Structures are given as structure tokens and as C-alpha cells.
Structure 1
Amino acid sequence: METESIKELRHLLVTVFLTGLAGFIAIPAITDVTISALCPSHPRCSLAIFLSGFQQAATGVGAVVMTPLIGNLSDVYGRKALLTVPLTVSIFPLVILACSRETNYFYAYYAVRTVAAMVGEGSVHCLTLAYVQADKIEERKRASAFGILGGVGSAAFVCGTLAARFLSTALTFQVSAFLSMIAVGYMRIFLKESILDSGTGLRQPMLGESQEPRAKEECEINDSAHKTSGIFKSLPSVRDLICLLKCSPTFSQAALVMFFNSLADGGLQTSILYYLKARFQFNKDQFADLMLISGIGATLAQVLLMPIIMPAIGEAKLLSMGLFVLCLSILVYSISWSPWVPYAIAVSSVFGVFVRPSICSIASKQVGPGEQGMVQGSLSGISSLANIISPLIFSPLTALFLSEKAPFYFPGFSIMCAAFAMMIAFIQSIMIRAVPSDVGGKGSGNPLV
């Protein structure tokens, strides 16, 4: 049984790798393609910044609704069935750019990519986490599993970025689209469904084993509500989410950290590539070099360091350490004075990869295995909410301070604001006292190895 479980996990990891590889190959070229289609020969393109910000906000709106829905549906209908949706919709925008990068094709890509991201953004990560932690891994080994899963994603990032460094722009999107198709086919053929046996009951009452009797009474969920059929009845209600926030202070703190961390990440994502292009005239190859350095460091940190450090110091301390390093790194980004500075920061910021696995591990221990899809979907929804707000703040700031109309000369001002958001997340993380819940902790899964 253990061997079969490990085999299934390997198929999941291959799926994650192929999906990540397909997506990451395209990233270094997107900025150049966008500016070439919208503002030829103008490295400072406000329209590109605003369109990217709008896409990020629209993606967040869709993800706030779709990620909790897909995560919760996966608790009922299985991870594989729901994983098919985001993997399939991600193919179409890549096929459009594989055909052409002209202005009309770019707008078609932009529209399709926005809709596809609204449906699938964050869902793959949410479902793979739920597949691992609820269905295959016992609670005490989930943190290591998160590290391995994140390490595979980072390895895909490295391989994809390295491939983008040597592929032409046209071939980049053709290869990316082909790999996306391979990922869907592999997942459908080899990955087994993880849905729990209906005879054992798929769901468990949220925090049903809570040590606080009053909280348990207040947060007890009517089992009959979970037996109702229909897709929209599978969407977590506001009552469910408020219940979890009220019953678990640890989850509430983790959710707050997730929000500000995602707000800062979204701000950095909105600003950094356009900032480097305007400030130092970086192009696709230099973006790929930066991502390659970060990706190699992230892979090594997650695969080699995280399984060692996590048991020694715990998720809460590792979370704080990662946030502190990220805060300093983003702050230095904002005052980069030479083209070599971003490369140096890319090396030092690898410890930031500890943040999300730590948050997910802390949150996963607060509920039973039958509710992992909803919890991880809720975290992804909180992250998506931050991604809605982030471009509304950082896109105008980036466009303003990279233009000639800036109130004062500080091209990295928007990035410095992202560093302040990360500082808030760091301060909140210090207050977390991650006491594992007993829910689902006994005999809830198979060992990782």
C-alpha cells in the first residue's frame, strides 16, 4: 500500500513538473512581447503596465470565487477530476502566441489568458496540496511533503527558464503549448483519483476535535448541509469561513500573513520586470538569467534545506525567517544602483520559498483530512483577494514613478511599498503560535517514504 501511494505521488510530481515547465518557459518573453505589441521601441510603456495590472486584478477576482469552489468540489468529486479544468484552460492562450505575436494576436491572447487565469489561477497549487496532505501523507510529514512539492515546482522553474534562455521567442510559445498538452494527457492517463471511499465519509466536522468545547459547539457544522447535491452548494459559505477563522486563531493569523505576503508578492510581480527594463534596459535573456538564479536557489533550498530546517525550528520560525529575508531583499531591489544588484538579490532571496509551504503546513493542521480542499482553497482565495487589491495600488505607482511626471525621482518607489507590506506580514508572523490540531492527526495518511 505504501509503495502504491509513493507511485501515485510520483505521478503527481511529474504532472506538477510538466505544468510548471510549460508555464515558466513563457514568462521571460512575455514582457518583451507585450511591449513590442503595444509600444514598439518604447521601453517605458504605461499601457503595458496598466493592462498587466488589470489582468492581475481580474485574475484575482476570478480566483477568489473559483479556487475555493474547485477546492471544495475536490473534497466531493476528487482531485483528479477538478485538476483537469485548470490544466486544460491554460493551453489556449499559449497556442495563440505560438501562432503569432502581432498586436491583434496579443489582444486575443490577453483576453483568453485573462479568462483562463480567472478559472484556473491558483487551482493547480491548491489541488496538488490537498492531494498530498489530505490523501497521501500523514500529518507529521506534511511540511516535508510541501517542501518536496515546492522543490519540484522550483525545478520546473529552473528548467523552463533555462530553456527560455536559449529558445527563440516563437519557439518558446510553441514548446510551452506542447508541454501543456503533454501535462494534461499524462495526468489523465497515469494519475489515480484520490477521493476517499464513500463508505468512510468524505468530510469531517470542521475542527471537530478542538480542545475548546465552546468553540467546538459554536463551530459545529450540520452534517446534512454537506450531503446536499449541486455544484453551487459545494462552494464554501461565508459562515464556514468565518467559523474557521473564529475557531482557530492560528488559522486566522496564517490567513493574515498570507494576505500581506500575497499583497507584497503581487506588487513585486506588477513592478519588477518593467522597473528593470526601464532602469537598466533588461531584456528576455537577462530576465531569464535572474529567474534561473532564483530558481536554482529555490530548488536547493526546498529540497535540501527545508526538510532539515523545518523539523528543527518549526513552521512558525521558518515562516518568520523567510518573510524577514524577503522584506530585506525587496527593499534592496527598490534602491538598485547598478545592474549587478538584482543578480545579488536573486541569490539572497531564495529563503523566501519557505513562506508559503510554512503557511500551508500551519493551516493544514487545523482541520481534518476531509476539509483540506476547502482550507487550501480558502487560503488561495485570500491570496487572490490580495492579488485583486495589489495591481490597483502598484500599477499606478509603477507607471507614475517610471514616467517623466513622477513627483520625485525614485523609480523603485512602488517596490519599496511592497517591502512595507512584506514587513507587516513578518510582524504578524512573529505572533503565530502554531500548535497542531488533533484533527485528522491520527492515522490520516501514509508516510511519505
Structure 2
Amino acid sequence: MDSALPPASSHNKAAFAFIFVTVMLDMLAFGIIIPVLPHLIVDLIGGSIAKAAVWTSAFGTVYMLMQFVFSPVQGTLSDRFGRRTVILISSFGLGMDFIVMALTPTLWLLFVGRVISGICAASFSTANAYIADIVPKEKRAAAFGMMGAAFAVGFIVGPALGGFLGHFSIRLPFWVAAVLSLINFCYGFFVLPESLPPERRTKRFDWRHANPFGALVLLRRYPQVFTLAAVFFLINLAQFSLNSTYVLYTDYRYGWGPQTVGYTLGLVGLCSGLVQAILVRQLMPKLGERRMIMVGLPLCVVGYLFFGLSSVAWVFLLGIPFLCLGGLAGPPAQAMMTQQVDPHEQGRLQGALTSLASLAGVFGPAVFANLFALFISDHAPMHLPGIAFVLAAVLLTGATVLAHYAIQHFHAVPAAQPAENAAARLGSELSPVADIIAHEPVTNDQPESPR
């Protein structure tokens, strides 16, 4: 199949690379401000750390809430007007928003800036829809794995760079984040081709599909997608046990300071990136999507149990490789969902999935943080500092059961076939990164779509 594809133009060769860089730079820009945003809030409210903690929590909640609301809006807009327009507008908006936050003299304007950041960052759903457009169905798991690697790179480099820049000026990281986003916009403006031709777009913009709850109705129309989306939600919900308790838990139980926490988080990010960028691509032809899911989820359960039940630090560290290997499950699950949905609804699908991840971010931190606080308090039913990670393991055990049910009833459908034509239009050499994916052998784990 690959040898029959036409040569790619110079614009088309950079398409996959741009999407990869878009996700990486957006995550990098987001990560850069993580170490300095709370300190900027402290400065703007007059130095009260207690009040700053409340505002920081509110900033995080509103950011995820905006992603929940606007991810299906952007996905539906991309189904109607094309992916390129939505991605470029979001990159430009994110860059301008970081400038506003760098200059703001008041807390309320910084809060508004965070709201806009959440709206613009919802373009991740459109980036994933772009991947579904240009990558054949049998290679999408590897492609989504590369997107996971882009997230990991941003997570590793962003906070470290932001902390370094914050030593010079608390507002400097915002300026750097703005520059990265605007460079991304300029690069995409000149090199990014459209992946969704007019004949495959929806005829009109429908608000019933664009609201987050209306977008979730799409999942109910595809039974296998609905079940796998529940798995996707549980995976994301479990991950917020790390976001909300990792620093406090390791300090409480092992006495780790900021430097040790930084090193171990960097190790987690590095291992996750290697799994997403290399192992997913290498194991897909050997295991197939279904086995990858059923291998990855139990490994993640083991990793969380190591985290939650280890009384000594070296045993805790043994959980890191298990937790990162759990990342094998996400890309194939996402790829299987794209195979069930019509091509003109890929944007809505990715918007709905991003909304689910954002919904997990709205509720997850509060649940895990409060459980951690309860189980180390004098009123705890039992002393279990790692309760957040134990709960995460329970959630992923449920996800494993759901995934087993979903893949037993999974069948390929003709709806995914037009994506192969889109890949053919863009060419087999989308980029050096995409070339790795394009020349992977096709897995026989799934039956061919009926012709």
C-alpha cells in the first residue's frame, strides 16, 4: 500500500511534524508557567499563601472546565470548517493570551487569561482529529503514541525551564510561552495543509453536537466507542491521583524535597515518553491493539499499587516502570475508537474524548486530595497515606473489565476507510516522524473492513 502512494509536496511532508510540534509546544508552554503561576498569584493578592492556594485551585478548575466545555465546540467547528483553521486560531489565541498574562497587573485579568488558555488548549481534540484524517486506521495507535510522547516531552522540559526562567523574572516564563505559541502559529500558517477536504465536512454547525453533553451523545451511538470512552475516562481520572497528591504524599511518607520530586517526575515523564514514542510502535505489529490494551491496563494497576502500598522509597520507585508501561493501553484504545466513527465526525469524537479528560480534571483532584487528607488525619478509618493511588488502582481494575468487554465485541467498520484516502492525498512521507509510522508493518489483529 505505501509504495503506491503519490509523492508528497513540501507542505504535506511537514503536516504530521507540525501536529507533533503543535502538541509538544502547547504542552511546553503550559508546563513553563506551572512553577511560577502560584507565585504570581501570591504577588497579585498581597502575599497571602493561604489565599493563593485557594485561587490556584480555582485557576486549575476553571482551566479544566473550559476544556470540558470547548473541546466539543472546537471539534465540531473543525468538522465544519476544517482542522487547519481551528488549530491556527487556537495557537494564535494562546500566544496572545500568554502576553496578556505576562502584563496583567490584577488578579481578575490573570483569571480571565486562564479561562482563555483553557479554551485555546482545547485544540488538542482537533489535533487528534487531524491525525485520524491522515493516518490509516491500522497505524493510528502508533500515531497517537507519538502524540503521547509529545505530551511527555512538554511535561519533562516545561516545568524545569519555567523554574529556571522564574529565577530571573516571575513573568519571563509567560513571555517565553507566548513566543513558543506564536512561532507555532507562524510555522503552521506557512506549512500546514488541510486534512479534511470540503466534501467530507459537515454541512452546518450544530450546537446540539457542540455542547459537551451533546457531544457525549455521539459516544452512545457507537456501542464499542461508548465502552472504550468509559475506559478512557477512568484512565484519565486515575492519573489525577498523581497530579493532586504526588508531591505531598512523597514528602509525608518519604521526606522528599522539591529536588527529589523534580527528579522522579522527570523520570516518570522520560519513561512515559519512551513507551509512547518507541514501545507502542514496536509492539503494535506483534501484539495488536486488543492485546496491547489488555497488557497495559493491568501493568498500570500494579504500578499504582506499588505507589500506594510501599512503605519505603525504593519500593515506591519500582512502581514507575509499571506505571509507565500502562501507557501502552491508551493509544490503541483511541485508535480503535476512531475506526468506529464516520470520517466527518472525527472532530466531534476527539472533542468528546477531550471533554471526558477535562471532566476528570474538574473532579479528580478534589476527590484524591481530600481522600489523602482524610486518611492521614486523626479521624481516618485507617492510616493509609497512599489511598489515592489505591483508589486509582481500583478504577483501572474496573477499566480493565470494561476494556475486555469492549474488545470482545469490537469489529472494524467501513467508516474508517476514507481516512486511508486522506493519507494517500498527503503522501507517504508526511515527515521524518510520520515516516516511522508509515513504514510499520500492518497488524492483523483486526478483521479487514468489508468492502
TM-score, length-normalised on structure 2?
A: 0.78
- Tell me: CA distance 1:133–1:331, structure 2 relative to 1, closer, same or farther (3 Å): same
Kindly provide the CA deviation profile for residues 117-155 of structure 1, in whole angstroms up to 9, marking residues without a partner as x: 54245x232111111211x22222222211222223323
- For structure 1, the residue ranges without an aligned partner over 5 or more in a row are 204-226
Percentage of identical aligned residues: 22
How far apart are 1:109 and its partner, in Å?
8.2
Kindly provide the CA deviation profile for residues 72-91 of structure 1, in whole angstroms up to 9, marking residues without a partner as x: 10111222322245445545
- Alignment pair present for 1:178 and 2:176: yes
Query: How far apart in 1 are the matches of 2:178 and 2:313?
Result: 34
Q: Which residue of 2 aligns with 1:352?
A: 326
Query: How far apart in 2 are the matches of 1:91 and 1:143?
Result: 30
Residues 157 and 295 in structure 1, CA contact (< 8 A), matched pair in contact too:
yes
- Tell me: CA distance 1:345–1:36, structure 2 relative to 1, closer, same or farther (3 Å): farther
The residue matched to 2:235 in structure 1 has which SS? helix
Pick aligned residue for 1:151 from 146, 149, 152: 149
Query: How far apart in 1 are the matches of 2:378 and 2:214?
Result: 49
- Tell me: CA distance 1:403–1:120, structure 2 relative to 1, closer, same or farther (3 Å): farther
Map residues 105-184 of structure 1 onto 2, 5 A cutoff: 111-112=111-112, 114-121=114-121, 123-134=122-133, 136-161=134-159, 163=161, 169-170=167-168, 174-175=172-173, 177-184=175-182
Pick aligned residue for 2:69 from 65, 71, 76: 65
Query: How far apart in 2 are the matches of 1:397 and 1:337?
Result: 18
Residues 72 and 212 in structure 2, CA contact (< 8 A), matched pair in contact too:
no
Q: Which residue of 2 aligns with 1:374?
A: 348
Map residues 116-265 of structure 1 onto 2, 5 A cutoff: 116-121=116-121, 123-134=122-133, 136-161=134-159, 163=161, 169-170=167-168, 174-175=172-173, 177-188=175-186, 189-194=189-194, 196-198=196-198, 200-203=199-202, 227-228=203-204, 232=207, 235=210, 241-242=216-217, 244-246=219-221, 248-265=222-239
Residues 144 and 306 in structure 1, CA contact (< 8 A), matched pair in contact too:
yes
Q: Which residue of 2 aligns with 1:17?
A: 24
Letter in 1 for 2:31: F
Residues 17 and 153 in structure 1, CA contact (< 8 A), matched pair in contact too:
yes
Letter in 2 for 1:194: E
Letter in 2 for 1:245: R
How far apart are 1:257 and its partner, in Å?
0.4
Map residues 345-424 of structure 1 onto 2, 5 A cutoff: 345-403=319-377, 406-424=380-398
Letter in 2 for 1:125: F
Residues 102 and 175 in structure 2, CA contact (< 8 A), matched pair in contact too:
yes
- Tell me: CA distance 1:2–1:179, structure 2 relative to 1, closer, same or farther (3 Å): farther
Kindly provide the CA deviation profile for residues 338-373 of structure 1, in whole angstroms up to 9, marking residues without a partner as x: 344444333332213223322211111011222110
Q: Which residue of 2 aligns with 1:215?
A: none
How far apart are 1:271 and its partner, in Å?
1.8
- Alignment pair present for 1:318 and 2:325: no
- Tell me: CA distance 1:76–1:97, structure 2 relative to 1, closer, same or farther (3 Å): closer
Query: How far apart in 2 are the matches of 1:171 and 1:341?
Result: 39
Residues 69 and 212 in structure 2, CA contact (< 8 A), matched pair in contact too:
no
- Aligned pair count? 414
Letter in 2 for 1:82: V
- Tell me: CA distance 1:238–1:38, structure 2 relative to 1, closer, same or farther (3 Å): closer
Q: Which residue of 1 aligns with 2:276?
A: 302
Residues 69 and 236 in structure 1, CA contact (< 8 A), matched pair in contact too:
yes
Q: Which residue of 2 aligns with 1:444?
A: 421
How far apart are 1:289 and its partner, in Å?
0.9
Letter in 2 for 1:83: I
The residue matched to 1:440 in structure 2 has which SS? helix
Residues 71 and 123 in structure 2, CA contact (< 8 A), matched pair in contact too:
no
RMSD: 3.6
Residues 22 and 180 in structure 1, CA contact (< 8 A), matched pair in contact too:
yes
Kindly provide the CA deviation profile for residues 359-409 of structure 1, in whole angstroms up to 9, marking residues without a partner as x: 211111011222110011111122222333323422322333355554543
- Alignment pair present for 1:6 and 2:23: no
How far apart are 1:413 and its partner, in Å?
1.9
